Amino acid sequence: MKAVLDAFVVGAAVCVAKKFDEPLCDDPSDDMFIECAMSADAGVIVTGDAALLRLSGHNGVSIVRPREFVDQHLGK
């Protein structure tokens, strides 16, 4: 597990997210995660949050559960 976390830290970047004009998510406090992902050109958000999962695919950002991410990107 430490190797997986280390890989995220090595690939991490700091960015300033552009805020949406209108709330996008059913839970507006979750918008910051999509704003950040879009600003950083991230292709995926990993979460178990149901409100975010319903927005998967918005502006090309895939939103997946942790197990799905591991299966798709880190092998089974």
pLDDT tens series, the chain, 76 aa: 677 677 667 767 777 888 888 888 889 899 999 998 888 888 899 999 999 999 988 888 899 999 998 888 777 5
**φ, ψ dihedrals at 12, nearest 5°:** -75, 150
Domain membership of residue 26 (yes or no) is no
Domain membership of residue 54 (yes or no) is yes
Domain with 76, as residue range(s), is: 44-76
**φ, ψ dihedrals at 24, nearest 5°:** -105, -40
Domain membership of residue 21 (yes or no) is no
For residue 6, what is the enclosing H or E element?
A: helix 2-10
Please tell me the pTM assigned to this model.
0.75
Domain membership of residue 2 (yes or no) is no
